[in-house]
Amino acid sequence: MKTINVGIIGLGTVGSGVAKMLLENPSTFAEKLDRKIVLRGIADRSIDKKKEIKFPPDMIITGDVDEILNSPDINIVVELIGGIHPAKEIITKGLQNGKDIVTANKALLALHGSELFQIAHSCDRSISFEASVGGCIPVIAAIRDNFISNDIQHIFGIVNGTTNYVLTKMTREHLKYEDALRSAQEKGYAERDPSTDVDGIDSAHKLAILARMGSNRDFDYDDIYVEGISDVELKDIYYAHELGYTLKLLAISKKNENGLEIRVNPTLLPHEHPLSSVNGVFNAICIQGNAIGETMLYGQGAGQMPTAGAVVSDIIDVALGRSKLTFGSIKPLSGNCERIDVLNISTIKTRYYLRYSVIDKPGVLAKITGILGNHNISIASVIQKETKENELVPLVMMTHLAEEGNLQKALLEINNLDIVKGKTRFLRVEEAE
């Protein structure tokens, strides 16, 4: 039986999970395979961690990544240190030394994916990265392989568990953002500095990877429009709920004849939309193609074992020789795709939720709807509540489809009205197809 030797670089949460799967219970997958997968070495700066796991005596346990990268025994290098540097250099050297790479590094692939893919091709090696998006959810494989026959039009979903936990907590327990975030931090779902998650950056990294795979086109990561959840107010969740919508942080990519609409932003979904019942730290991604119609993949988007499971499945894919064929034959993995224009956020068309704080006087509604009408925005529904906040009443509207540029112009005018106090809140809406 053929043996494939694996080296792990980075023994953090996911790395330890991968080591456990390979060492403690290899029969789980070994009995399904005609290959033997052997964990040959681990490099980590803090060697203390090795205490948690029982390592076989002949394994390379090192603080020096080069011992893994230069080992002639090792066939597959699993990069799990995350971040840009030195992960990029490690992967590059691994490829140059003839190792296939398995990684969960979304930031690196979002920013330097094409460059690394090109290096891999020049070395006749492959990079596998299922674990970089959606933990155990096989979304990369679905887009790359199972839906390859399709023209993939839309990809959108919940790809960050931290923010979904916070929004779920706000929605279900009526907690303010700060309190919900604190709960996430206490449970270990959010970092002490939560900005990468709550500002939407982690979602944008994952979206970049999915959108390139799905569109077979390249674009600059920086052109993604990104809005996080730190400004979300509880009352907007509440009013939207009353109108039949649930608030989620969505990563959205839509291809049309003009280019690619690609953005991360808090989004309202009708209650009956399958994504609106994805709660807590779960993730789910909807993929829409010309033949398949609407699909959704759901599961744990993070966590030690789900992510480790995806990494080990990628290792097996390399061991079977499939990743080489995939990487060598499928255009979105060439690192050399045609470019696509990213559309400016002002050109997108969606429905909008609007909440104004207005002075309770006759003619207010007429003035606001008049301005909206002048900018080609029509109203689908209105709630005006009697609740007063410092003599102000909240006025809530759902619009029909409108162009964001028009909305922005209208809001500039509306926010300047005497009767409107403070900045009008708006949220984009995603309808079921």
Residues that bind its own copies (CB under 8 A): 17, 21, 25, 28-29, 31-35, 130, 135-138, 141-142, 145-151, 216, 272, 274, 277-278, 289-300, 303, 305-306, 308-310, 312-313, 315-317, 320-322, 325-326, 328-332
Task: Give the number of other CB atoms < 10 A from CB of residue 283.
Answer: 28
278 to each of 84, 163, 314, how far by Cα in Å? 30, 12, 26
Q: How far is the CB of 325 from its own copies (least distance, A)?
A: 5
What distance in Å separates the CA atoms of residue 190 and residue 178, rounded to the nearest whole number? 12
Indicate the residue among 17 and 200 with the shorter CB distance to its own copies.
Answer: 17
Closest CA to 171 of 111, 163, 85: 163
Paired residues of 300 in beta bridges: 282
Q: How far is the CB of 380 from its own copies (least distance, A)?
A: 24
Q: Is residue 181 a contact partner of residue 198, using CB atoms and an 8 Å limit?
A: yes
Indicate the residue among 65 and 308 with the shorter CB distance to its own copies.
Answer: 308
Indicate the residue among 152 and 243 with the shorter CB distance to its own copies.
Answer: 152
Instruction: Record the tokens describing residue 373, joined without a space.
Output: 């009408």
Paired residues of 248 in beta bridges: 267
425 to each of 181, 232, 299, 354, 417, how far by Cα in Å? 21, 9, 32, 6, 15
Indicate the residue among 97 and 150 with the shorter CB distance to its own copies.
Answer: 150
Q: How far is the CB of 336 from its own copies (least distance, A)?
A: 12
What distance in Å separates the CA atoms of residue 388 and residue 88, rounded to the nearest whole number? 55
What distance in Å separates the CA atoms of residue 194 and residue 226, rounded to the nearest whole number? 16
142 DSSP 8-state letter: I
Query: What are phi and psi for residue 289, nearest 5 degrees?
Result: -130, 170
What distance in Å separates the CA atoms of residue 308 and residue 323, rounded to the nearest whole number? 18
Indicate the residue among 29 and 55 with the shorter CB distance to its own copies.
Answer: 29
* Burial (Cβ within 10 Å: 0-12, 13-18, ≥19) of residue 274: middle
What distance in Å separates the CA atoms of residue 118 and residue 260, rounded to the nearest whole number? 23
Indicate the residue among 180 and 310 with the shorter CB distance to its own copies.
Answer: 310
Q: How far is the CB of 84 from its own copies (least distance, A)?
A: 27
Indicate the residue among 295 and 406 with the shorter CB distance to its own copies.
Answer: 295
Q: Find the catalytic residue in 88, 106, 169, 206.
A: 206
Q: Is 206 marked active-site?
A: yes
Helix or strand run (H / E) with residue 196: helix 195-198
What distance in Å separates the CA atoms of residue 219 and residue 207, rounded to the nearest whole number? 12
Query: What are phi and psi for residue 364, nearest 5 degrees?
Result: -60, -50
Catalytic residue list: 206
